[in-house]
Amino acid sequence: MAISVNLSAIITALGGRHAIQQLLNVGPSAISNYLTRGHLPERAKPIIYAALTKKGYQIRADDLEILAGPPATSSQPLHSDTHFGKRILLIVAGGIAAYKALETARQLQQLGAHVTGVMTDGAKQFITPLSLAALTGEKCYDSLFSLTDEAEMGHIRLARSADLVLVVPATANFMARANAGIADDLATTILLATTAKVAMAPAMNPAMWAHVATKHNFASLRQRGVHMIGPVSGDTACGEEGEGRMCEPADIAAAAMQLITPQNIPNAKDHAKSPLAGKRIIVTSGPTIEPIDKVRFIANRSSGKQGHAIAASLASRGADVILISGPVNEPAPDQVTMVQVTTANEMLAACKAALPADIAICAAAVADWRVQSVSDQKLKKPEDPDAGMMLALCQNPDILAHISSASNRPKLVIGFAAETENLLQNATKKRQRKGCDWIIANQVGGDADPVFGSALNQAMLISANGVDEWPQMQKTDLAETLADHIEAELTR
């Protein structure tokens, strides 16, 4: 259903078309359509009403007619601080602490965020979608199979439109489903589809919190890059005292905003003015693993130390880092969005999904080949002890070359070259062949220092402007050196 409105007046009152686009989370063409038809979709009504009222306008509720402008003293902008425009998808799961999600939404709005609610069926046993929608001024989504919702927004777009997906409360059941990758409702599907940061505020009975299954799910989600806010010790709703109590809404809101506000990230303080702040950067790291059969695979010795150190350094300078990594033992650095993959094809798909980006850095040791036809059973050894074994291999896609030639190519694309001989010549050719701007060349495979797996590295930066040789240093220091060079490039 659509409602007839004087959209031009509303656009002027709310500060322009862009402000309405952000409020309704639609593109410029949608606004043009609304203007042509003089109609707004029904779902927009409470959002626009709330926004205009917040600005101090008197509005007629049924057709959004502006009856009077804001009083002279009411000059408060819709979002008055540095968090303007940050979008938080607030997922409410089904626990007694769900009522605190309402207060969390309010606190987030006071900090300047746009909040859109998503509720599980369980959450609706405790609070209603209407209460969350009324509070946020945005539609509250609760169904994966709603034709109207899919037509208006679509769950993938909903998942991708957020700067942060925040789960309040994260119940034991919700964490278990999220950890297992189950996507049987809108909330869990969003978690799988989003490329935004994800944070959860766990809340449950102390015995449930202490259970080994919950501990496992919590640790595993955190390892994957989910930011955990709490829980804390204290009285829980079931009358028991102990760990498992959800953090207070104000604390959850503050922690959530910190995650999406570069200058508020503790490590980023020294780099508050970094030109990297807010830049979207894809970093690949670790090896890829290519299956041969059910139990065997082709792999390499990359530990992920170098790629992860680069991701950590950039994130500490306020960049919005998406770290796409093959299987490694390195923990996910703080403040990065972690995407775990296994094969080269999966890494390529994750990189494509993460584009567009401002910068891409490919530090992963991607397997050049994969087995042409993977056996779904364990391959049997021939009876004849002298018989050899042939595996037909085919080439994997070149992820760096793909990013370098993408239509939405990042402004700066940086590759690595791991060479065992003729470092400068081979790496220079590689830069040209793969079409990247810079290549970081490191000599690998030495007996004393193989680089792969080591804490140390020695490299040279090769660009169109020449070669910059760096001394041997810790991989963490090399990451800082590279970040310094990128900062310098961005300010040139």
Helix (H) / strand (E) containing 358: none
Which residues in 166-197 are b (16+ Cβ under 10 Å) and which e? Answer: bbbbbbbbbbbbbbeeebebbbbbbbebbbbb
Residue whose entry in the numeric block shows the structure tokens 């789960």: 167
Residue whose entry in the numeric block shows the structure tokens 């509303």: 10
Q: Return the number of the residue (221 or 451) whose C-beta is nearest ligand PMT.
A: 451
Question: Rounded distance, CA 322 to CA 225, Å?
Answer: 10
Q: How far is the CB of 409 from ligand PMT (least distance, A)?
A: 14
Q: How far is the CB of 448 from ligand PMT (least distance, A)?
A: 15
Q: Return the number of the residue (77 or 331) whose C-beta is nearest ligand PMT.
A: 331
H helical segments located in 137-259: 147-152, 155-160, 172-180, 186-193, 206-210, 212-223, 249-259
Q: Return the number of the residue (68 or 394) whose C-beta is nearest ligand PMT.
A: 394
The Cα-based distances of 12 to 8, 19, 47, 164, 408 in angstroms read 6, 10, 16, 29, 33
Interface ranges with ligand PMT (CB under 6 A): 284, 286, 302-307, 344, 362-366, 368, 396, 398-400, 415-418, 430, 434, 442, 444, 451-453, 475
Task: Report helix, strand or coil for 4.
Answer: strand
Q: How far is the CB of 416 from ligand PMT (least distance, A)?
A: 4
Q: Return the number of the residue (10 or 328) whose C-beta is nearest ligand PMT.
A: 328
Q: Return the number of the residue (194 or 404) whose C-beta is nearest ligand PMT.
A: 404
N- to C-terminal Cα distance for the chain?
Answer: 51
Q: How far is the CB of 134 from ligand PMT (least distance, A)?
A: 49
Q: How far is the CB of 367 from ligand PMT (least distance, A)?
A: 7
β-pair type (87-92, 164-170):
parallel
β-pair type (320-325, 336-340):
parallel
Q: How far is the CB of 312 from ligand PMT (least distance, A)?
A: 13
Q: How far is the CB of 479 from ligand PMT (least distance, A)?
A: 10
Q: Return the number of the residue (9 or 460) whose C-beta is nearest ligand PMT.
A: 460
Q: Which two tokens stand for residue 425?
A: 């010549």
Question: Rounded distance, CA 353 to CA 253, Å?
Answer: 28
Question: Rounded distance, CA 442 to CA 430, Å?
Answer: 13
User: How many helices (H) and strands (E) in the chain?
Assistant: 18, 25
Q: How far is the CB of 320 from ligand PMT (least distance, A)?
A: 21
Q: Return the number of the residue (205 or 442) whose C-beta is nearest ligand PMT.
A: 442
Question: Rounded distance, CA 304 to CA 310, Å?
Answer: 10
Question: Rounded distance, CA 57 to CA 76, Å?
Answer: 12
Phi, psi of 349, deg, nearest 5? -60, -40
Q: Return the number of the residue (88 or 282) whose C-beta is nearest ligand PMT.
A: 282
Q: Return the number of the residue (98 or 351) whose C-beta is nearest ligand PMT.
A: 351
Q: How far is the CB of 265 from ligand PMT (least distance, A)?
A: 24
Q: Which two tokens stand for residue 302?
A: 């990359």
* CA-based torsion, 77, 79, 82, 85: positive or negative: negative
Q: Which two tokens stand for residue 270?
A: 């020294």
CB 336 within 8 A of CB 311: yes
Residue whose entry in the numeric block shows the structure tokens 């001024």: 137
List the catalytic residues: 238
Helix (H) / strand (E) containing 96: none
Question: Rounded distance, CA 105 to CA 169, Å?
Answer: 12
H helical segments located in 270-338: 305-316
At 396, the amino acid letter reads: N
